[in-house]
Structure 1
């Protein structure tokens, strides 16, 4: 069986660095807060590169869930993701609601995308974010990947406004949350950098989704 990954369901992960009281009991707990920034629907030939550049400048690693048909012609972007230490997962081959497809067709959508990623990076992706969050027990049995959902939906695809996306995510994010964004809009890339800067200032550390998991 696979395990669903959710920031809240795995709230104990990644918390090895906690402050302890000093000899006089005066130092307060300054435990770090963790969040995972995730991007669906890429790689995008126009906006993924500036996103990668900005993440590299900030020393931030995120998780990308790739659309298989978008990998073709953008292999260099996928290679850069891997080189920069980002976690790469499967989204789908053609962005379908997998629960509405024949099981064999749905599994092929995921497995073909997985193979495309392996062909570029040399590694088999272990994680999948099903489009629309549509998942069921049959898919879980048919596909040997761990489904990843989200806690904070930026709705960046709808808002398409840097300030509004930033405000929503910064306001809604709590310790252990997984944030959903898309790297196919300029406003999303701009908002991502502002979100990183704002949440970092609030004491958050950005990790990849596997780092939120409990061993």
Structure 2
């Protein structure tokens, strides 16, 4: 049941305050921190994901907007864009967002030999591990293209998506957000790109609208964990429908 507007406002305010305290203490919030105080798992969970970043101007604006709303997302990063944006990536990690690999320079992974595959995936994984001090990064192949070789060499769960508004077409924020809002359902993985100003605007519009409809935003890892689905290396996941 969707909480009443006063109760929802109270919960969001409390959540934002709790998130602020966690960030001040240097601790990242867990899945339980984004759920209602009762601890029950909501029936409307979605994972908001972003590809192709980071880009300083747009990714910063997105992180600011998500922080204001107490929302966490998952960012699949391009390795060559890590140098010079280390502070942004550390901020993502500190604020409880999940970080994944989107290859080193947006290269299609299908058909690659092991050396070329590792140059795209393992190099990016190493950069992120050295920067953040931990591992376990999910993989999203560019264009969602996967073959047996990608599955065998991934070294991580492969995360695709279930709702794609094709924001790269630069259709305008309203059209992108309308697509997401009309299509989103419990267990979906939403795809956007944080390198476009319009996509950032659409993402925040979508968050506001779906939260009003009773949706809760979690990272990809949290989405599957809360639905009791184990992510396995080399397996492809598009959604976490109950």
When normalised by structure 1's length, the TM-score is 0.84
Q: Partner residue of 2:64?
A: 53
Deviation at 1:46, TM superposition (A): 1.5
For residues 22-58 of structure 1, give each alpha carbon's deviation from its aligned partner in whole angstroms, at most 9, with x where no partner exists: xxxxxxxxx5300000000001021100100111111
Give the Cα separation in 1 of the matches to 2:179 and 2:105. 29
Q: Partner residue of 2:147?
A: 136
Runs of 4+ more than 2 Å apart: 100-104
Asked whether the 8 Å contact 1:170–1:195 carries over to 2, the reply is yes
Q: Partner residue of 1:17?
A: 40
Gaps in structure 2 of 5+ consecutive residues: 1-34, 231-242
Deviation at 1:123, TM superposition (A): 1.2
Asked whether the 8 Å contact 2:46–2:186 carries over to 1, the reply is yes
Give the Cα separation in 1 of the matches to 2:131 and 2:110. 28
Choose which of 45, 52, 62 in structure 1 pairs with 2:73: 62
Q: Partner residue of 1:207?
A: 218
Relative contact order: is structure 1 or structure 2 higher (C-alpha 8 Å, sep ≥ 6)? Answer: 1
Please identify which structure carries the higher strand content: 1
Asked whether the 8 Å contact 2:139–2:154 carries over to 1, the reply is no
CA 1:160/1:103 → structure 2, altered by over 3 Å: closer, same or farther?
Answer: farther
Q: Partner residue of 1:162?
A: 173
Q: Partner residue of 2:193?
A: 182
The aligned length equals: 189
Give the Cα separation in 2 of the matches to 1:68 and 1:145. 16
Deviation at 1:143, TM superposition (A): 2.7
Q: Partner residue of 1:78?
A: 89
Q: Partner residue of 1:191?
A: 202
Q: Partner residue of 2:102?
A: 91
Gaps in structure 1 of 5+ consecutive residues: 1-13, 19-30
Deviation at 1:108, TM superposition (A): 2.1
Deviation at 1:106, TM superposition (A): 1.6
Asked whether the 8 Å contact 1:88–1:125 carries over to 2, the reply is no
Give the Cα separation in 2 of the matches to 1:107 and 1:100. 13
Over the residues paired in the alignment, what is the CA RMSD in angstroms?
Answer: 1.5
Asked whether the 8 Å contact 1:160–1:188 carries over to 2, the reply is no
For residues 69-127 of structure 1, give each alpha carbon's deviation from its aligned partner in whole angstroms, at most 9, with x where no partner exists: 01111111000000100000000101011114333202320010111111111111331
